[in-house]
Amino acid sequence: MLIAMDPGTEKFGWAVSSDTGDLLLSGVLPIDEIDEWAKAVLRGDTSFLEERAVERSAARPDRSFPGFVIAGSGTGSAKCIRRLASSGLRVEKVPESFSTLRGRDLYWRIHPPRGFHRLVPKGLLVPPRDVDDLAAWSLILEFIGGNKEMPCNEVREGMQDD
């Protein structure tokens, strides 16, 4: 299991994936909840993460903490990384250049445009929600080697029951 976060000033995106990069859970939380999120990650509290997930797959994350969190090292990330470290998390910093653009691309792979939106180039489409969580997932994919084909058709949105 791998966990990443895309830090921001008002919110942060997070993602949990398998060791091979398959997205299991992801979400976007206000920055005020970063300490609570970090403690849940350390405890292996997957129910905390599942309750706050925006995207999820049918597979469930295991409860074993991988020992570190992947975090984007862009502008303004230092404060978030310090908070994660003070919570007891080991942080692996990775460059987050273009992670938001990669997150937008991942969104459209998971949720292909429909109707006349299919005719609009994806670069001109704006997702109907924040994609900081998918930017975090892109950090995982970059961390494990980048060019993995993403099984986005297996991910579903929201808090749907199985």
Q: How high is the pLDDT of residue 153?
A: 45
Q: How high is the pLDDT of residue 146?
A: 57
Q: Can you list the alpha helix ranges (DSSP code H) found in 12-125?
A: 34-43, 46-51, 77-86, 99-110
Task: For the chain, list the domains and their CATH numbers.
Answer: 2-157 (3.30.420.140)
What is the model's pTM? 0.85
pLDDT digits (tens, 9 = 90+) for 110-121: 999 888 888 888
Taking 50 as the threshold, does the pLDDT of residue 145 lie above it?
yes
Taking 60 as the threshold, does the pLDDT of residue 135 lie above it?
yes
Mutual orientation of helices 99-110 and 132-144 as an angle, nearest 10°?
Answer: 100
Q: How high is the pLDDT of residue 48?
A: 93
Q: How high is the pLDDT of residue 155?
A: 57
